[in-house]
């Protein structure tokens, strides 16, 4: 409908002008007070604080800088794995919420390594949730050791570690090395993601093995079922694996919701890589860097002996960023022997206690340094690491000791034999992992033609007892 228009009256025009002038006056006063006033009082004498534009800007900048300096914020910005909502996730949220001391300890350990892991994850374009994975693998404990002989923050078993280039010898176990194991773990996870096409299936395969996940997918395809993570019949530990990571993710994102307090971690490197002399005592490194021996060990957990040595021409150690310059300055001015250890060629049948007395070292320490479990006589000739008598030592033949694979007490009558009844969903590789052996050995012992097994089947496992160690 068309409406007739009427010209505005003089009274209306005057009202509009008055309103405009009043608004302009109020705007001017508002700007004046917002940019100039700090405090005033209202008619009741209550002080009113005005935040100026300048102050507001400074506060915003301060909050922004604080947020950017917090590594947790950076991690949250890189989340890319779909949220897993399940009762299992809730169960693990409750588990961590009820153990604040455990969470605090885990976060304290993570503080040394997390920045490096996040950096490497982001370089590969991976979801930053991956940087939280060591929390469910090892609670970020580099000394973590499982019953399946997995070690380090990423929990590599010997065979998988070897496959990904993590050397394990008498001197060092690089499955514990923070840098090397992180690179290997990310290589493995990238490979698994390429195989399965989703991160939850890649994580499942990291936990249970790619064969287990592949077989579960094939079984569902054959039965016309979905092949996503939630639909697969997987081992109980693997069913809980992704929800457990989700619980950690939820807790570090909103700790207050679970009654927890998580300390901010600086968004900057904690450690730096340094090339040390070819052979140097761990104690000397710690002293020159002016850090504790414990701090050095936490950054360099792969070294198993009191002397830092490698059979390669060069090797690396990690030191706190704040200690690198001091280490280099002190090393240049250090004129004493860098190592006080030598190699002793022990003969078959030689009494270990006598060797300890000869080199003025406690029997307990000699056994520990050389990974010996028998404190009586040596069953065969071998090389032993001992203190240098005069305090100065010649260069040690690193390769000579690195290849040492003596088995202590490895007599046939001490071999342990157990039987295991296969449960539904179990695979031969899972059983092998549980008992610290491999699929090929189990097939040979049980005369199996293939690795296929069924529920109710009983298999035999032969292994060395716990006290028998290979060094």
CA nearest to 169, candidates 369, 469, 401, 406? 401
CA nearest to 402, candidates 173, 184, 166, 175? 173
Counting beta carbons within 10 angstroms of the beta carbon of residue 326, is it exposed (0 to 12), middle (13 to 18) or buried (19 or more)?
A: middle
Give the whole-angstrom CA distance, residue 175 versus residue 150. Answer: 9
Paired residues of 342 in beta bridges: 386
CA nearest to 445, candidates 428, 468, 424, 466? 428
* Vertex 398 angle, CA 392 and 401, to 5°: 105
Is 122 one of the annotated active-site residues of the chain? Answer: no
Backbone angles phi, psi at 360, to 5 degrees: 55, 50
What is the number of alpha carbons within 13 Å of residue 91 lying toward its C-beta? 9
Give the whole-angstrom CA distance, residue 169 versus residue 305. Answer: 11
Active-site annotation holder among 93, 137, 167, 426: 137
Active site residues: 137
């Amino acid at each position: 409908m068309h409406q007739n228009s009427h010209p505005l009256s003089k009274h209306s025009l005057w009202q509009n002008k008055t309103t405009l002038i009043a608004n302009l006056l109020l705007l001017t006063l508002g700007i004046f007070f917002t940019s100039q006033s700090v405090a005033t009082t209202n008619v009741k004498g209550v002080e009113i604080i005005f935040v100026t534009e300048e102050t507001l800007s400074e506060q915003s900048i301060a909050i922004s800088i604080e947020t950017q300096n917090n590594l947790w914020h950076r991690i949250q910005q890189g989340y890319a794995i779909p949220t897993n909502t399940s009762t299992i996730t809730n169960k693990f949220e409750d588990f961590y919420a009820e153990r604040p001391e455990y969470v605090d300890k885990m976060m304290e350990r993570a503080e040394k390594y997390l920045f490096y892991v996040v950096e490497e994850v982001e370089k590969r374009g991976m979801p930053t949730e991956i940087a939280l994975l060591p929390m469910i693998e090892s609670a970020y404990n580099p000394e973590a050791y499982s019953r399946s002989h997995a070690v380090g923050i990423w929990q590599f078993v010997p065979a998988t570690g070897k496959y990904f280039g993590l050397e394990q010898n008498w001197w060092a176990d690089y499955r514990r090395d923070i840098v090397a194991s992180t690179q290997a773990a990310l290589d493995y996870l990238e490979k698994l993601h390429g195989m399965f096409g989703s991160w939850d299936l890649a994580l499942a395969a990291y936990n249970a093995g790619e064969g287990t996940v592949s077989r579960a997918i094939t079984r569902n395809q054959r039965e016309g079922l979905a092949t996503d993570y939630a639909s697969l019949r997987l081992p109980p530990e693997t069913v809980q694996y992704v929800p457990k990571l989700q619980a950690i993710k939820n807790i570090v994102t909103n700790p207050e919701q679970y009654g927890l307090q998580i300390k901010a971690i600086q968004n900057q490197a904690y450690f730096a890589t340094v090339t040390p002399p070819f052979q140097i005592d761990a104690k000397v490194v710690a002293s020159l860097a002016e850090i504790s021996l414990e701090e050095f060990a936490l950054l360099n957990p792969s070294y198993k002996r009191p002397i830092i040595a490698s059979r390669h021409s060069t090797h690396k150690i990690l030191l706190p960023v704040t200690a690198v310059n001091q280490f280099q300055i002190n090393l240049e001015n250090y004129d004493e022997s860098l190592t006080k250890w030598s190699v002793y060629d022990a003969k078959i049948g030689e009494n270990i206690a006598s060797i300890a007395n000869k080199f003025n070292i406690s029997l307990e320490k000699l056994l520990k340094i050389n990974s010996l479990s028998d404190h009586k006589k040596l069953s065969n000739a071998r090389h032993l690491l001992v203190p240098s008598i005069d305090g100065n030592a010649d260069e040690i033949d690193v390769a000579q000791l690195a290849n040492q694979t003596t088995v202590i007490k490895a007599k046939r009558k001490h071999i342990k034999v157990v039987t295991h009844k296969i449960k539904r969903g179990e695979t031969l590789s899972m059983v092998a992992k549980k008992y610290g052996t491999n699929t090929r050995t189990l097939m040979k012992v049980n005369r199996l033609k293939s690795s296929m097994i069924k529920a109710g089947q009983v298999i035999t496992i032969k292994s060395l007892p716990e006290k028998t160690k290979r060094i």
